[in-house]
Amino acid sequence: MRARGLTAGAGSGMLPAMASRIEVRPVRAGDAEAIWQISREPGVIERILTLPSERLADREASIRDLGPDEHYMVGLLDDVVAGLGGLSVGRGRLRHAGTVFLFVSARHQGRGVGSAILAALLDLADRWLLLERVELTVIVDNEGARKLYERFGFEIEGRRRRSVIADGEMKDEWLMARLRP
């Protein structure tokens, strides 16, 4: 899925970009090192669940061992891995629902990569998997991510108090969900 020449603007829509090209595709084993590097960047690691001690071999194994209900997509900006998102489908009586995660390199945030990955994951959820519900959590002080999710129809359903350790302290998360339109 390509979003040529699009980048997220200050408004609600997409604005033309000057030279950037965004592509979204399924993750490949060869993407592991780039994803591992992004997950360790200041401005990223504080907002995701990765620990600084994560080893590259662990990231490689997590990609290699993805199951049939785990759908990971990378966003490339000018052919360079710039972000990762995933959709995990529930099992049994939760088969109608999925959980999403998303992170983008600090130097590429605000350029449409996150929007492109999220759009691809929600297209998969809505048109191919027929999921009725997609949910996620986001640290309360991550306003940029919360606003992105709201633009895609996610709503805050609740607050998970002191649910995650970030920056050396316990932080709250928003539980957000989107029902299929």
Tens digit of each residue's pLDDT (9 = 90 or more) over 53-73: 999 999 999 999 999 999 999
Q: Using the predicted structure, report yes or no on whether residue 136 has a pLDDT greater than 60.
A: yes
pLDDT reported for residue 12: 33
Residue type, 10: A
> For residue 5, how many other CB atoms are within 10 A of its CB?
15
Enumerate the β-bridge partners of residue 136: 176
Domain count for the chain:
1
Element containing residue 176 per DSSP (H, E): strand 169-179
- In the predicted model, what is the mean pLDDT of the chain? 90
How far, in Å, are 37, 58, 75, 122, 177 from residue 31 at the CA level?
10, 13, 11, 22, 28
Helix (H) or strand (E) holding 104: strand 97-104
Predicted TM-score (pTM) of the model is: 0.87
Q: What is the pLDDT of residues 85-133, one digit of tens each?
A: 999 999 999 999 999 999 999 999 999 999 999 999 999 999 999 999 9
**Distance, CA of 6 to CA of 4 (rounded, Å):** 6
DSSP bridge partners of 103: 84
Structure tokens at 78: 């000018």
Residue-wise pLDDT for 1-49, tens only, equals 544 333 333 333 444 444 579 999 999 999 999 999 999 999 999 999 9
**Domain around 81:** 2-179
List the CATH number of the domain containing 44.
3.40.630.30
